[in-house]
Structure 1
Amino acid sequence: MPRTSTSSCLRACADLRARLHEGRDGGLSAALDALPAKGGGDAAGLLDALLDVGRKAVDHGPAALPTALVVSAWVLTERSESRAGWLLRGRVLEAAGDTAGAVDAYERYLAQTDKDPFGLAEQLAPMAARARHEQGIAQALARAGRPVPVLGEPPQDVEAEAAALVEEQFAALASGVPSYDPAVLTGAAEHWAGLRRVRHGLPQPDPTLGGVEWVSAGGLRDLIAGRSICLVANSGSLGAGSLGPQIDSYDVVVRFNAFRIDAAATGTRTDVHVTSSRNPHNWGVRAGTRVIVTQKPETYRAAVRERLVPGAQERVGDNSLRWPVRDLGRVWSEVWPQTPTTGFNLMWLIDFLDVSPRFDLIGFDFLESGAYRLPEAMGQPASSPADHSDEKAWVMERAQHVNGLVTSLR
């Protein structure tokens, strides 16, 4: 990893900012605008600001990955043992297709902490296997004289190249042309099959074991029609309170991601668990309905295959519930530039369905009081209250009554 100066890092950030379109970047432009022009002043403040840029650049997609790579290199140049730096480095390399590099970065991150809020430890073994198969495919491609995928190409391109090489070698074998090479065919086939097993979880247990029901937006509407519903936030203010009995009195209790059960503060029932596809926690906790929220169809499918625990839920939200603000509401980034959070996707959806006579948000102070999650998830970086300003404004425009930690939308 090259040593990276502050000036070159800020120059890369400035170049990225010049290429971005307003209102389409999930807060990346705002994070870049917050950087000082020459990097002077508070060193800790600059570090935090660049880490924020790096995280948002990874979420933005391939066009911003080179800048995220530079930012991660700068952080680790300044602080070689930075946990946040190694975590960012791992995310960047994984997104860029350097699985082996991502495994190394994640191992360095885990070596410096006794907490694992992202569930990385259980992902390292399959990631290492994936790296081995990707390297085997690269060797087969090189032996066949075909272009080898390079850092920055999506991992699925490696799989596609291997499949094409296997087909090409079988065709050469059948026709007897000189391009057939037994070592190329066996190497490509072995590692292509291995990569598919690791990446797609094949073979895998059926997550619907026990007969789950797939629920669409219409099915969710039927489940909550005429019933009181509360959405329970994972906020510090809720954890310090005593609203548990009141929460359990609703007909439908909705919780999010790494929620923490405390009978006095948060109640005990979980009728609907709404979770980001990247959240590693609470998938095995019993819930009547589990809804997976994610932007991309492929990550939804991966979560269904790899995250769902057979028997832990009676119903699973289908693809129509995956990204409701954008997909159902057609609220595009031109209208709503901020990436909708898991919580906002659900509160928007319940408001849109408009079939519950009582609809309350409990503990939603939009991170002003910090987080109250499972202990192993408390190390997850939290966005600032400013990142949720639009969501808070949306709620207050629709609020009919506010009583302490309870905001009533119906």
Structure 2
Amino acid sequence: MGQTLTGLLTSVRAIAGRPGTPPRARPGGGPDPELLAALRLCGDHLAALAASGPLTDARRTRLIASIGALTTACSTPGADAFDALLRTGQQALDSGGDAGARLALALADEATALRARSKGAWRLRGNALDALGRSEEAITAYERHLALQQNTAAARDVERRIATLRAAGDRIDEALALVGDGSEGGEGATGAVRLSRRLPAADARAAFTELVRLRTTERGAADPAVRRLAALYAEHRRLSDRDPMADPLLGGAEPLGVPGLRRFLAGRTVCLVADTPHTAEQEQRPGSSLAALIGGSDLVVRCDAVRHAAPTARTDLHAVTLRGDSPWKGPRWDRRATARLVFGDPLPHWRLALRSRLVPGAQDRIGDATLRRPLHDPALLGEAAADAEGPASTAYTVLRLLDFLGTPARVDLIGFEGPAALSPREREWIGARAGATDDTAVRITLR
């Protein structure tokens, strides 16, 4: 990958021109100046990636591939590189972090300069500004997108996001009116705290937190105004974490966080069942030892798409990992389960997948954002996001989460051999914790 990255960086700079020189369209219908400027931005980003060490993150790999496709389009006479430019911007955004969002924003700026009436360019700009926490600017870009968008169904997500950003800003405005003397930030009552809906999201959260702390110290938690301020703060944080949904309870389902999952598992025996034809056949066979083991467990866990188990087969916890560039486009999760956990990153994709694929009434509890990336969340396991064997399987993610929580009485694995076998690293982790092994299950005693 290092040689490939170096070669691509050389190609990008050769097409875009020397660093520091203004982009020029080549004679005879060469790339537009905006495309050359975009290539130069990509070249700078590639240089930073090359300096950061070996690349093992699949999302960054996809970004590098999309930059390569953009480079090819810009160097091909007569090719329309605009779509490649938008794809590169989206991959930059999907790669995560402020650096990726800044590159996406810069590419969106070039795209809107190139085609001012491109709804895709304005959507990309809004998403990038949103990811950077620049809410008011994001709203403006989203509104430009909606003015050009003719697809009513596609517009709903953007309309919902605009409503969320405005609602979060309204909470800030009400808080300022509640604590202030007319000056922004309420300096007359709380000192030098500066809070504004125009602040970047991270700064606004920090300022809001400090405002609540200071007012609580001054007047006490029992003061009615302080209680309302705390409620506004909680609503603002909730809106920062997720958009409202048309049916937020999905037929009465409750959000499930880390404490709730710990209680859900406490003292129970858990059976994690692989979805294979053999396991499904044994599970339905009367008198089989495997069926007895599954039926005798307090909680039955199944992962991802369950194709072989009977529709009536018991599922107490269903866990699924979002895969691919558009995970919100997959089949809906309509198998009945007591609780459902959805693992995925980045956060916007996770949100969209939940809105698109959850089915009202198909679950009683839904894992919230605190459970969407347990292996890599610093508040939970906090491990590196990738290794040489690729992304973790859903079953392994569930096992690590159960081990971290430490409340189940026992965990049994059923059918994880052959096509359903876990990776060597995952099997090694399991082997180090296996309390007993037989023909049907690997029994793990959690720490």
Question: What TM-score, normalized by structure 2, do the two folds share?
Answer: 0.50
**Structure 2 match to 1:276:** 321
Q: Does 1:330 align with 2:379?
A: no
**Structure 2 match to 1:345:** 397
**Structure 2 match to 1:65:** 66
**1:213 Cα deviation from its structure 2 partner:** 1.2
Q: Does 1:408 align with 2:366?
A: no
Q: Does 1:285 align with 2:242?
A: no
Q: Does 1:304 align with 2:304?
A: no
SS in 2 for 1:325: coil
Is 1:257–1:281's contact at 8 Å kept on the other side of the alignment? Answer: no
**1:267 Cα deviation from its structure 2 partner:** 8.1
1:209 to 225, 229, 250: 250
Is 2:341–2:366's contact at 8 Å kept on the other side of the alignment? Answer: yes
Which digits, 9 at most, give the CA deviation of each residue in 1:333-358, with x for residues without a partner?
Answer: 48897432222111101111111222
Unaligned runs of 5+ in 2: 9-45, 73-83, 92-107, 164-244, 284-289
How many Å separate the matches in 2 of 1:14 and 1:239?
A: 49
* Aligned CA distance change for structure 1 residues 167 and 358 (closer, same or farther; 3 Å): closer
**Identical-pair percentage:** 28
Q: Does 1:262 align with 2:309?
A: yes
Q: Give the alignment of 1:4-403 within 5 angstroms.
A: 12=4, 15=7, 19=50, 25-26=56-57, 56=58, 60-67=61-68, 96=88, 142=115, 149=121, 156-157=127-128, 190-191=147-148, 197-200=155-158, 202=160, 205-235=246-276, 238-239=279-280, 241-242=282-283, 243-262=290-309, 268-277=313-322, 278=327, 280-281=330-331, 283-327=333-377, 328-333=380-385, 338-365=390-417, 369-370=418-419, 388-403=423-438
* Aligned CA distance change for structure 1 residues 235 and 189 (closer, same or farther; 3 Å): closer
Is 2:5–2:50's contact at 8 Å kept on the other side of the alignment? Answer: no
Which digits, 9 at most, give the CA deviation of each residue in 1:73-107, with x for residues without a partner?
Answer: xxxxxxxxxxxxxxxxxxx99953689xxxxxxxx
Is 2:274–2:414's contact at 8 Å kept on the other side of the alignment? Answer: yes
Which digits, 9 at most, give the CA deviation of each residue in 1:125-167, with x for residues without a partner?
Answer: xxxxxxxxxx9x97897459x9x959xx788349999x85995
* Aligned CA distance change for structure 1 residues 97 and 268 (closer, same or farther; 3 Å): same
Question: What TM-score, normalized by structure 1, do the two folds share?
Answer: 0.54
How many Å separate the matches in 1 of 2:347 and 2:138?
A: 27
Which digits, 9 at most, give the CA deviation of each residue in 1:13-59, with x for residues without a partner?
Answer: 78479949667515xxxxxxxxxxxxxxxxxxxxxxxxxxxxx5x57
Is 1:255–1:273's contact at 8 Å kept on the other side of the alignment? Answer: yes
**1:287 Cα deviation from its structure 2 partner:** 0.9
SS in 2 for 1:210: coil
Is 1:294–1:300's contact at 8 Å kept on the other side of the alignment? Answer: yes
User: After the TM superposition, which of the residue ranges 199-208 and 267-276 deviates more from structure 2?
Assistant: 199-208
How many Å separate the matches in 2 of 1:370 and 1:10?
A: 33
**1:313 Cα deviation from its structure 2 partner:** 0.9
SS in 1 for 2:252: coil
How many Å separate the matches in 1 of 2:332 and 2:340?
A: 10
Unaligned runs of 5+ in 1: 1-8, 27-55, 72-91, 100-134, 169-184, 372-384
* Aligned CA distance change for structure 1 residues 239 and 211 (closer, same or farther; 3 Å): closer
Which digits, 9 at most, give the CA deviation of each residue in 1:372-406, with x for residues without a partner?
Answer: xxxxxxxxxxxxx7x82211111111111111241
Is 2:269–2:408's contact at 8 Å kept on the other side of the alignment? Answer: yes
The aligned amino acid for 1:364 is: F
Is 1:95–1:154's contact at 8 Å kept on the other side of the alignment? Answer: no
**1:228 Cα deviation from its structure 2 partner:** 0.5
RMSD of aligned residue pairs (Cα, Å): 4.9
